[in-house]
């Protein structure tokens, strides 16, 4: 049965008032209770997958295969955070017993992480499910014990409303308090959401310009709040001369072509900068491999316009060669673009040539020697990923030491598009990739919406259950400096 999509949206004031009232109840709920809520939402989305995918395809044109997989990823994220809650380590419980003989005397201190309070989440355009209404930000905030208010993305409004109704109904049926989740729409409502005094943190995935504007709003509030923005990334790839020996060059060219054109290049991990030895001919191989890639429909007219203008601006730069590309034959479409230049040209104008082009484009940068390679890497801004392709026995220790400060994930022998969801994943990086050191994907994403609190000499009857001496929740804890695991 199709659910109406007309009742999910509230005003910011309505949603924030309900969220503020719900926050103490969510904070007091047990991890197992919140895990059940997340499981309920995952089950509800899975039951409606056919309906959700059909509506998502109408609005995004991403195709039913891609979107069906994305629903599975989304429900998988919800279940991952249910497992995080079951594990209990996310609370980081630490207990130091009193020691009057210490110098200075030590009181009893009991420390744990507590939810921050109502969280604002901004949906992304390029992942209508996984980074949207019921995506990773929502899942991790609910897991932390925070009410969530989602600002829907204008690229898929009807899907956002339907997803919100499913989430609200599932949470209600599972016993979550009213106000645990809400949806708002519109640019003005998004601005008001960040500025509302009830909001304690913001999760955002989107453009550098939009994210920076909201980041500044969050910082200028009378009481500034954390803004966890995932904004822009060029995801540099370094290929050594040894990696291009024999037929390996053609294999790598095909791999790169498949990666930067995947999903019409609309991934935040798109490999936009590729550094290769001068004279290798690799750029021509990439253009050959990508030639014939069908132009795809981009998510919105604005994204298509920005891609076309960005690619044209880079192509027009002196010293840049266009090996593949051209004008889009249809509105809102993205044509694969392969550009090539030298490291010396990039270093003359890094602000233009190292700028992200969001879409199916890659810039091949030919370096004459290691000093040029290192100079370009020093000019590259923070990225979500950095990738190395080298010979199996090649010593790339120094190269890795230069890539580590640039990115949150360093890959060997693969391509950065695709972000696995798991306990060890980190999806973040230095500015402008993100505004913080935390991840937006993986188990530790929950840490963004928690804050530490210490209770000193506190009677057990008023302590959170997680800090009781008998450990009734069977949590891993550090007691007087010694890590203890539940039997």
**Residues designated catalytic:** 230, 268
Cis-peptide into 104, omega within 30 deg: yes
Cα–Cα dist 389/239, whole Å: 5
Cα–Cα dist 212/217, whole Å: 9
Q: Assess contact for 270 and 298: CB atoms under 8 A.
A: no
Q: Three-class SS of residue 293?
A: coil
91's CB contacts (< 8 A; 6+ apart) are 31, 112, 113, 466, 475
DSSP H helical ranges for 93-174: 136-144, 157-173
Length of the chain in terms of residues written: 487
Element (H, E) at 220: helix 208-220
Cα–Cα dist 185/129, whole Å: 16
Query: The tokens 């040029």 sit on which residue?
Result: 372
Q: Assess contact for 238 and 273: CB atoms under 8 A.
A: no
**How big is the CA angle at 60 (ends 55 and 63), to the nearest 5 degrees?**
80
The pair of structure tokens assigned to 420 is: 């696995």
Q: Assess contact for 445 and 140: CB atoms under 8 A.
A: yes
156's CB contacts (< 8 A; 6+ apart) are 56, 59, 60, 123, 125, 128, 132
Q: Assess contact for 260 and 416: CB atoms under 8 A.
A: no
Instruction: Point out which residues pair with 409 in neighbouring strands.
Output: 385
Q: Is 59 exposed, middle or buried (0-12, 13-18, 19+ CB in 10 A)?
A: middle
């Amino acid at each position: 049965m199709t659910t109406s999509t007309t009742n999910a949206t509230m005003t910011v004031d309505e949603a924030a008032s309900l969220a503020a009232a719900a926050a103490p109840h969510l904070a007091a709920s047990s991890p197992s209770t919140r895990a059940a809520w997340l499981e309920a939402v995952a089950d509800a989305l899975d039951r409606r997958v056919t309906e959700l995918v059909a509506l998502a395809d109408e609005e995004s044109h991403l195709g039913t295969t891609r979107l069906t997989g994305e629903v599975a990823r989304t429900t998988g994220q919800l279940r991952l955070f249910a497992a995080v809650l079951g594990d209990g380590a996310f609370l980081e419980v630490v207990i130091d017993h009193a020691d009057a003989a210490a110098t200075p005397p030590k009181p009893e201190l009991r420390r744990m992480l507590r939810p921050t309070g109502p969280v604002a989440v901004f949906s992304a355009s390029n992942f209508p499910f996984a980074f949207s209404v019921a995506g990773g930000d929502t899942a991790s905030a609910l897991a932390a014990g925070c009410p969530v208010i989602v600002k829907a993305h204008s690229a898929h409004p009807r899907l956002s409303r339907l997803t919100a109704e499913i989430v609200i109904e599932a949470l209600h049926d599972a016993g979550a308090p009213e106000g645990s989740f809400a949806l708002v729409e519109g640019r003005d409502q998004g601005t008001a959401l960040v500025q509302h005094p009830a909001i304690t943190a913001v999760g955002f995935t989107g453009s550098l310009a939009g994210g920076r504007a909201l980041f500044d709003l969050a910082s200028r509030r009378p009481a500034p709040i954390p803004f966890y923005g995932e904004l822009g990334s060029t995801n540099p790839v370094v290929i050594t001369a040894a990696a291009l020996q024999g037929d390996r060059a053609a294999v790598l060219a095909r791999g790169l072509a498949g990666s930067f054109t995947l999903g019409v290049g609309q991934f935040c991990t798109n490999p936009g900068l590729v550094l290769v030895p001068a004279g290798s001919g690799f750029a021509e191989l990439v253009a050959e491999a990508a030639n014939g890639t069908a132009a795809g429909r981009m998510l919105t007219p604005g994204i298509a316009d920005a891609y076309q203008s960005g690619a044209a601006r880079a192509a027009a730069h002196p010293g840049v060669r266009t090996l593949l590309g051209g004008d889009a034959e249809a509105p809102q479409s993205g044509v694969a673009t392969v550009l090539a230049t030298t490291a010396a040209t990039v270093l003359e104008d890094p602000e233009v040539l190292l700028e992200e082009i969001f879409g199916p484009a890659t810039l091949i940068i030919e370096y004459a020697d290691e000093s040029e390679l290192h100079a370009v890497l020093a000019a590259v801004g923070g990225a979500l990923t950095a990738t190395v392709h080298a010979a199996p026995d090649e010593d790339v220790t120094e190269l890795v030491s230069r890539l580590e400060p640039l990115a949150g994930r360093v890959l060997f022998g693969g391509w950065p598009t695709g972000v696995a969801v798991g306990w060890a994943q980190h999806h973040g990086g230095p500015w402008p990739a993100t505004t913080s050191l935390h991840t937006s994907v993986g188990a530790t994403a929950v840490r963004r919406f928690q804050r530490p609190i210490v209770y000193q000499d506190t009677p057990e009857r008023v302590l959170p259950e997680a800090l009781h001496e008998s450990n009734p929740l069977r949590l891993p804890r550090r007691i007087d400096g010694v890590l203890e695991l539940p039997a």
